[in-house]
Chains A and B, each alone.
Chain A
């Protein structure tokens, strides 16, 4: 299975996966800490509308995905404050309307129908170089924004009301964070697809959260977990096809691995907790 690492095409695939893990772990940390997983799910599905529009109008589908994701981020972000708990309904509308638009656009597009499955569940094995470069550029954008504004993002995630009364433009900061989330999702579309993107964004971060004491540490651990799941899923897919001739798509395998790590981590927490109860509090 490991001989795959020496193949040039596989190295490109790995590079794409690792670059996407970077955006995924960093932004996933905010998504999980602020508890906006379903909102981010809405953004990811809305992005599919842009993929469809790309096919229809003849521009790169990923550009469409970014455009639709950012537009959805703006709509949902602005509505968030004004709707309160009603935001839930709006998010599910954005979610399904994005998907519906994508399907309709693709149906209207001339020529042969593209393989929609690859956008829904990822198709990392056929990732072209220009897409790898695009992920790299998005990574750079996300990392620079986070390096500059981490304290503000953290404050708004922890307590947006206080951030606002302390004098921060809390709503604009939140919109910025959603925009970064939309971009991180675009990096994941080729890796796991629009349907599974939200899983890779949230599962590694949720696995990391109970083990850390700061968002920075949570980001590092999430990136590592993302990377291990992605590389593991790719190797597993390769091994299955070489070993027993099964062609299992890597995207779902990546998600299943991430979920397995979550389950193991939760079990480890439970065991540690029981020990602590049995032997009294640990010495400081």
Chain B
């Protein structure tokens, strides 16, 4: 078996006095398309930040692209939750996407290859014609795509997306799920979400995270696993896709 793109081994991390992750192990292979599900506060964003080297584990090991997460920076694409952005910030779409090129040495100068990579990335998320728009004029879904393009302009080997389902109400062209599937032919893709609807038929594997990680080789979820993750009984109603989930009634 070839070396994994990223690996967590027995990772535990507490933020302040709160244990967020406990004994989490996970292997991400090349061309994986993995969904990590879990309730809010279950440690999903923390897991991504460990892979990005923004946090160091209290126990256990994290390896990314055969190196420490910090040294792998620039080769890992990151799409944060778009809701935390300041839409009054005066900046155009193309300049946001160009930020993905900043880590490649050369410092503050823009080189020819940078613009090409940025345009290609915008093309990929079908946002090229909005390149000169200020971000304040975008819808939530469009901003999401810009952030995906910014990560793609890094030409990453691993792509990490935090809650990309937040604003995918609009249907511009094909769905981003197909885009992620297509991207996973070039890089490993990890999507984190609290929304079980995030698992599409395209996902190769699902892991459920609520402080502890419950991994599945396939995308089939069982109610046992969901119950272990969400801490309450969960009914799965599979009407093709996306899956719908209803929590058991009767409990506050």
Q: Which residues of A contact B (CB under 8 A)?
A: 33, 35, 148-152, 154-155, 157-159, 161-168, 209-210, 212-215, 217-218
Contact = CB atoms under 8 A, between A and B. Distances in A.
B103 interface: yes
Nearest to A212: B90
Given A158-B89, A217-B90, A166 B108 contact: no
A167 B74 contact: yes
Contact of B108 (A151, A158, A159): A151
B99 A213 contact: no
Give the 8 A-B CB pairs with smallest separation, nearest first. Answer: A167-B103, A167-B74, A166-B103, A213-B134, A151-B108, A167-B73, A165-B52, A155-B99
Interface string B69-111: 0000110101010000110111110011011101110011110
Contacts of A167: 73-74, 102-104
A210 B85 CA distance: 16
7 contacts: A152-B102, A159-B85, A162-B80, A165-B52, A165-B73, A165-B76, A165-B78
Interface string B44-83: 0000000011100000000000000000011010101000
Contacts of A217: 90
Contacts of A212: 90
A193 B107 CA distance: 36
Given A33-B89, A209-B90, A213-B134, A151 B110 contact: yes
B131 to A, nearest CB: 12
Contacts of B74: 166-167
Contacts, number: 76
B147 to A, nearest CB: 9
B80 A213 contact: no
B150 interface: yes
A158 B73 contact: no
B162 to A, nearest CB: 11
Interface in B93-139: 95-96, 98-100, 102-104, 107-110, 134
A84 to B, nearest CB: 10
Contacts of A166: 73-74, 99-100, 102-103, 154
Nearest to B134: A213
A163 B108 CA distance: 12
A56 to B, nearest CB: 41
A159 B90 contact: no
A149 B109 CA distance: 8
B211 to A, nearest CB: 22
Interface residues of B, number: 30
B102 A155 contact: yes
Given A149-B108, A165-B52, A215 B102 contact: no
A221 to B, nearest CB: 10
A167 B105 CA distance: 9
Interface of B: 52-54, 73-74, 76, 78, 80, 85-86, 88-92, 95-96, 98-100, 102-104, 107-110, 134, 150, 154
Nearest to B153: A166
Contacts of B154: 166
B156 to A, nearest CB: 10
A214 B95 contact: yes
Given A159-B80, A166-B154, A35 B102 contact: no
A150 B109 CA distance: 9
B73 A154 contact: no
B133 to A, nearest CB: 8
A162 B150 contact: yes
A35 B86 CA distance: 10
A118 B80 CA distance: 47
Nearest to A155: B99
A206 to B, nearest CB: 10
A213 B78 contact: no
B51 to A, nearest CB: 10
A149 B92 CA distance: 18
B89 to A, nearest CB: 6
Contacts of B109: 151
B187 to A, nearest CB: 15
Contacts of A214: 90-92, 95, 134
A101 B98 CA distance: 45
Nearest to A213: B134
Contacts of A209: 88, 90
A107 B241 CA distance: 76
Contacts of A155: 99, 102
Nearest to B73: A167
B108 A150 contact: yes
Given A33-B90, A149-B108, A162 B99 contact: yes
Contacts of A163: 99, 102
A16 to B, nearest CB: 29
